[in-house]
Structure 1
Amino acid sequence: MIVNRAIAVVFTALVVALAGQARAEIKTEWVEYSHGDVKLKGYLAYDDAITGKRPAVLVIHAREGMTENTKKNVEMFAKDGYVAFAADIFGYGQGVLPKDVPAMQAQTTMYNQNRTLLKARTQAGYDVLARHPLVDASKIAQAGYCFGGSTAVEFGSTGVPLAATLTFHGSFANHPAGWAKSLKGKMLIMHGAEDQGYPLTTVAGVIDELRAAKVDFQYEVYSGAQHGFSVPKSKPDQRADVQSRATAGRYLKELFNGE
């Protein structure tokens, strides 16, 4: 009788646990917002099994814009327990989604030549995330990919209250001297050793700025990896993609949990 009762208790606990797992789900939604007269649409994701406010990650997309890969990156951070939101930089809310490399270059050139607009557009996305009812606005990190990496540097230079800045194969170029003096929080740079467009000599300039400003930073370099390794085109890229995702997850956990 006692054995049967014990089995029943274990079975009930198992059923409850499985039911909880079944209810746990990454919720995703498109969020419409605006910057001036420009209609924008960002991608939001979070784990609905977690209750209450939690840290958040502002994802800044690569030059491809709001693609499936951008959505995958957002969902990755959501699976780690954060509210994640991809800011719409190009105007996806108005149908802007570059179809080829020339169109991508046209978009990035436009914003790189008008960095006041770039920073304001990123701020609009940050504000949407910071106001979300599930977000602890004192614990927001940003994660930029490619064009988004350089955008993260520009946005960080405004002194916005960030816990950390993460860059995946950032397209660093022509940042104003002294930008890191206003950067809040820490910084994690993940870069391919064979990035031809943004070589390690260029990244060295970013590191010099961080050192001069006494910003707490980490720098991870992946041998054989090219630019854009988060969309792998080779085995070294694949390795860099896996390792950078693991590093980002560990870094944010340590950051937000105080480990």
Structure 2
Amino acid sequence: MIKTETITYDGPGGTYEGTISYDDSLDGPRPGILVSHAWMGQGSFETEQAEKLAGLGYVGFALDLYGKGVRANDKDKAAELMNTVASDHEALVSRLHYALELLKEHPLVDGDRTAAIGYCFGGKCVLDLARSGAATLGVVSFHGILNAPGVTGEPAINAKVLALHGWDDPMVPPEQVVAFNKEMTERGADWQLHAYGHTMHAFTNPEANDPDFGTVYQADADRRSWQAMENFFAEIFA
């Protein structure tokens, strides 16, 4: 049976609240997966993804990057929260690393086998986690922003990288995709990028239906990207 627990934790910059999901019918440690939220903040969508990961035999940790009770209800507030957190890259990465260490310390997690996935803003976050040299086996970005953070110092990228991208995403134009591919190649990363045709931003979110803004659910891309993630995890956790 899948169980989900709310977890409140003190980390860099404040107190945070996320959820941990796992299958209590399984015995022993298993791989753990961070789930990094989109720009609205940690919520039901991210918890559902963590629960789906638990159904695959992993521990899913839907982390919180904004702070306990700090969530957005509209685009303006979401942009404000996202930009505030993203403006201090060092602080953002420290929150991600702290959440990763919490996951590794969970009694049901094999700390040597972890990964991270993220959606939209969260997709960029997990890519930046990999860019920071984090000791995790892989990261998966779903319709994430791909541009590099532009910080000095480039440690080795230890995590394998999978980027899942909607080709018609107006927030990630083709030149950003090319720059990302070039960056990953020059930094020696083990990377993949899957692009889905006729697909815009937020393609995994069934509630996304704003073509003028560029966010539209795409069922085929949603299904295909999740399968690509499953295949990726089967490889890195083998």
Equivalent residue, structure 2, for 1:81: 57
1:45 corresponds in structure 2 to: 21
Q: Offset of 1:135 from its aligned partner?
A: 0.8
After TM superposition, the structure 1 = structure 2 runs for residues 92-131 of structure 1, keeping only pairs within 5 Å, are 93=68, 95-131=69-105
Where do residues 133-152 of structure 1 align in structure 2 (5 Å cutoff)? 133-152=107-126
Match of 1:171 among 121, 145, 148: 145
**C-alpha separation between the residues in 1 aligned to 2:147 and 2:159?**
21
Amino acid at match of 1:166: V
- 1:216 equivalenced with 2:190 (yes/no): yes
Query: Are positions 1:60 and 2:56 aligned together?
Result: no
Structure 1 stretches of 4+ moved >4 Å: 177-181, 233-236
The one-letter amino acid paired with 1:70 is E
Contact 1:177 1:209 survives alignment (8 Å): no
Deviation at 1:254, TM superposition (A): 2.1
The residue identity in structure 2 corresponding to 1:168 is F
- Residues 75 and 200 (structure 1), Cα distance of their counterparts in 2 relative to 1, 3 Å cut: farther
Shift in alpha-carbon separation, 1:220–1:131, aligned structure 2, 3 A = same
Please tell me whether the aligned partners of residues 143 and 166 of structure 1 are also in contact (alpha carbons under 8 angstroms): yes
Q: Secondary structure at the match of 1:81?
A: coil
- Counterpart in the other structure of 2:10: 34
Select the structure of larger CA radius of gyration. Answer: 1
Instruction: Measure the CA separation in 2 of the matches of 1:236 and 1:168.
Output: 12
Q: Percent identity?
A: 29
Which has the larger helix fraction? 1
In the alignment, is residue 185 of structure 1 matched against residue 159 of structure 2?
Answer: yes
SS for the counterpart of 2:103 is helix
- Separation (CA, whole Å) in 2 of partners of 1:165 and 1:180: 17
Q: CA deviation at 1:124?
A: 2.0
Deviation at 1:238, TM superposition (A): 1.4
Alignment partners' CA distance in 2, 1:181 and 1:114: 18
Is the contact made by 1:130 and 1:137 (CA closer than 8 Å) also made in structure 2?
yes
- The CA distance in 2 between the partners of 1:178 and 1:208, in whole Å, is 17
Give the partner amino acid of 2:187.
Answer: A
Distance in 1 of aligned mates of 2:151 and 2:11? 28
State the one-letter code of the partner of 2:237: F
> What is the DSSP-based 3-state SS (H/G/I as helix, E as strand, rest coil) of the residue aligned with 2:96?
helix
Tell me how far apart the structure 2 counterparts of residues 71 and 37 of structure 1 sit (CA, whole Å). 23
Question: Counterpart in 1 of 2:212?
Answer: none
CA positional deviation for 1:185: 2.2
Give the AA of the match of 1:150. Answer: K
1:227 matched residue in structure 2 = 201
Shift of 1:175: 2.0
Maintained 8 Å contact 1:180/1:209: no
Tell me if structure 1 keeps the 8 A contact 2:12–2:91: no
Q: CA deviation at 1:36?
A: 4.3
How many Å separate the matches in 1 of 2:147 and 2:192? 19
Q: Is the 8 A contact 1:223 1:236 kept in 2?
A: no
Shift of 1:130: 1.0
Structure 1 unaligned segments of length 5 or more: list them.
Answer: 1-24
Alignment check: 8 A CA contact 2:157 2:188 kept = no
Q: Secondary structure at the match of 1:70?
A: helix
